Amino acid sequence: MSANKILIHVLAVTVALMTLIPFVWMVSASFMQQGEANQFPPRLIPESFSLEHYLRLFISMNIVRYFLNSLILSASITGLSLLVNSMAGFAFAKFHFPGKESLFKLLLAAMIIPAQVTMLPLFLMMNQLGLINSYLGVIIPGMASIFGIFLIRQYISSLPDSLIEAARLDGASDFQIYWKIVLPLAKPILVTLGLFTFMGTWNDFMWPLIIMTRENMYTLPVAMANLSGEHAQDTELMMAGAVITVLPVIIVFLALQRFYIEGIMLGSVKE
Amino acid sequence: MKTKPFFKVWMSPTLFLAPALSLIAVFFFIPVVASFLMSFTDFDIYSLADSSNARFVGLENYKNLLSDPLFWKAMRNTLYFVFIGVPLSLIFSLATALLLNSKLIRFMSLFRLAYFLPVVTTLVAVAVVWRYIYHPSFGLVNYLLSLIGVGTVDWLGNPKWAMPALILMAVWKNFGYNMIIFIAGLQNIPPELYESARIDGAGKWQEFLHITLPMLMPTTVFVSIITIIGYFQLFAEPYVMTQGGPMNATLSIVLLMYQEGFRWWRMGYSASLAFVLFLILFMATLVQLRLQKHYSGV
- DSSP string of A197-256, one letter each residue: HHHHHHH--HHHHHH--SGGG--HHHHHHHHHHHTTT-HHHHHHHHHHHHHHHHHHHHHH
pLDDT tens figures, B274-287: 999 999 999 988 88
Give B-chain residues touching A114 at CB under 8 angstroms: 229, 232-233, 274, 277-278, 281
Average pLDDT over residues B231-247: 94
What is the share, in percent, of chain B residues with pLDDT greater than 90?
66
Contact B21, A148 (CB under 8 A): no
- The b/e string for A26-52 (b: 16+ C-beta within 10 A; e otherwise) is bbbbbbbeeebbbeeebeeebeeebee
**Given this model, what pLDDT does residue B3 score?**
53
A28 with A127, same domain: the answer is no
A80 with A91, same domain: the answer is yes
Quick check: A124 and B222 CB within 8 A? no
> Please, how many CA atoms are within 13 Å of residue B41, restricted to the half-sphere of its CB?
21
Between B54 and A52, name the one with better pLDDT: A52
Quick check: B124 and A5 CB within 8 A? no
**Given this model, what pLDDT does residue A215 score?**
94
DSSP assigned state of B3: P
Note down the domain range covering B184. 85-296
**Given this model, what pLDDT does residue B262 score?**
95
B34 touches chain A (CB under 8 A): yes
A192 with A206, same domain: the answer is yes
A150 with A197, same domain: the answer is yes
pLDDT band at B298 (very low <50, low <70, confident <90, very high): very low
Instruction: Give the domain CATH number at A190.
Output: 1.10.3720.10
A118 with A226, same domain: the answer is yes
pLDDT tens figures, A131-181: 999 999 999 999 999 999 999 999 999 999 888 888 888 888 889 999 999
A28 with A104, same domain: the answer is no
**Given this model, what pLDDT does residue B5 score?**
54
pLDDT tens figures, A9-18: 999 999 999 9
**Given this model, what pLDDT does residue B1 score?**
45
pLDDT surpassing 70 at residue A271:
no
A127 with A234, same domain: the answer is yes
Burial class (CB in 10 A: 0-12, 13-18, 19+), B148: exposed
Counted across chains A and B, CB pairs separated by less than 8 A come out at 255
A159 with A188, same domain: the answer is yes
A24 with A138, same domain: the answer is no
In a domain, B17, yes or no: no
Quick check: A114 and B184 CB within 8 A? no
pLDDT surpassing 60 at residue B6:
no
Quick check: B99 and A11 CB within 8 A? yes
Give B-chain residues touching A19 at CB under 8 angstroms: 114-115, 117-118, 172, 176
Between B298 and B56, name the one with better pLDDT: B56
- Among candidate residues B28, B256, B40, B51, the one with its CA nearest the CA of residue A124: B51
pLDDT band at A270 (very low <50, low <70, confident <90, very high): very low
pLDDT surpassing 50 at residue B20:
yes
- The b/e string for B187-217 (b: 16+ C-beta within 10 A; e otherwise) is eebeeeeeeebeeeebeeeeeeeebbeebbb
Contact B83, B228 (CB under 8 A): no
Note down the domain range covering A75. 53-268
- Could you give the C-alpha distances from B101 to A62, A181, B46, B106, B179, in angstroms and in order? 46, 38, 59, 10, 10
ipTM of the complex: 0.92
Average pLDDT over residues B79-85: 97
- Partners of A241 in the β-ladder: none
How many beta carbons lie within 10 A of that of residue B55, not counting itself?
Answer: 12
Question: Domain total for chain A?
Answer: 2
pLDDT tens figures, A211-247: 999 999 999 999 999 998 888 788 999 999 999 999 9
pLDDT surpassing 70 at residue B146:
yes
Q: List the single residue in A4, A122, A127 with the smallest CB-CB distance to B104.
A: A4
- Among candidate residues B295, B217, B266, B292, the one with its CA nearest the CA of residue B57: B266
pLDDT tens figures, A109-136: 898 899 999 999 999 999 999 999 999 9
> Please, how many CA atoms are within 13 Å of residue B38, restricted to the half-sphere of its CB?
31
Amino acid letter, A55: L
Average pLDDT over residues B38-42: 94
What is the share, in percent, of chain B residues with pLDDT greater than 70?
96
Between B297 and B60, name the one with better pLDDT: B60
Q: How far apart are CA B95 and CA A12, in angstroms?
A: 11
A221 touches chain B (CB under 8 A): yes
| Dihedral class, residue B107 (left if φ above 0, else alpha if ψ from -120 to 50, else beta) | left
Segment (H or E) for B146 = helix B140-147
Quick check: A120 and B12 CB within 8 A? no
A14 with A91, same domain: the answer is no
Instruction: Give the domain CATH number at B134.
Output: 1.10.3720.10
Q: How far apart are CA B96 and CA B88, in angstroms?
A: 12
User: By mean pLDDT, which of A35-49, A208-222, A232-246, B165-179 is the weakest?
Assistant: A35-49
Question: Domain total for chain B?
Answer: 1
A33 with A110, same domain: the answer is no
How many beta carbons lie within 10 A of that of residue A250, not counting itself?
Answer: 16
Average pLDDT over residues A45-50: 87
- The b/e string for B150-170 (b: 16+ C-beta within 10 A; e otherwise) is eeebbbbbeeebbbbbbbbbb
Give A-chain residues touching B38 at CB under 8 angstroms: 120-121
A78 with A29, same domain: the answer is no
pLDDT surpassing 60 at residue B72:
yes
- Among candidate residues B30, B261, B19, B29, the one with its CA nearest the CA of residue A211: B261
Total residue length of chain A: 271
